[in-house]
Amino acid sequence: MGRLRQLIGWPPARRAAVPAGMRVYAVGDVHGRADLLEPLLGWIAEDHARRGGEAALQIVFLGDLIDRGPASAKVIDLVANGGPAGAQQHVLSGNHEEMLLAILAGETEGVASWLDHGGAETLESYGVDPARFWADSEGLPRVLRAAIPSRHLALLRAMLDQVRIGDYLFVHAGIRPGVPIEDQAARDLRWIRKDFLTSTADHGPVVVHGHTIVPKVDHRHNRIAIDTGAYRTGRLTALGLEGQARWTLTSRLDQA
Are the beta carbons of 96 and 66 closer than 8 angstroms?
yes
The domain limits of the chain are 20-252
Ordered per-residue pLDDT tens for the chain, 256 residues: 444 333 433 344 468 999 999 999 999 999 999 999 999 999 999 999 999 989 999 999 999 999 999 999 999 999 999 989 899 999 999 999 999 999 999 999 999 999 999 999 999 999 999 999 998 899 999 999 999 999 999 999 999 999 999 999 999 999 999 999 999 999 999 999 999 999 999 999 999 999 999 999 999 999 999 999 999 999 999 999 999 999 999 999 864 3
pLDDT of residue 7: 40
pLDDT of residue 208: 98
CA–CA dist 74, 126 (Å, integer): 9
Q: Is the dihedral of CA 61, 64, 70, 76 positive or negative?
A: positive
Nearest to 63 by CA among 212, 244, 243, 214: 212
What distances in angstroms separate CA 13 from CA 185, 239, 245, one per listed residue? 30, 22, 15
Fold of 20-252: Purple Acid Phosphatase; chain A, domain 2 (3.60.21)
Are the beta carbons of 239 and 223 closer than 8 angstroms?
no
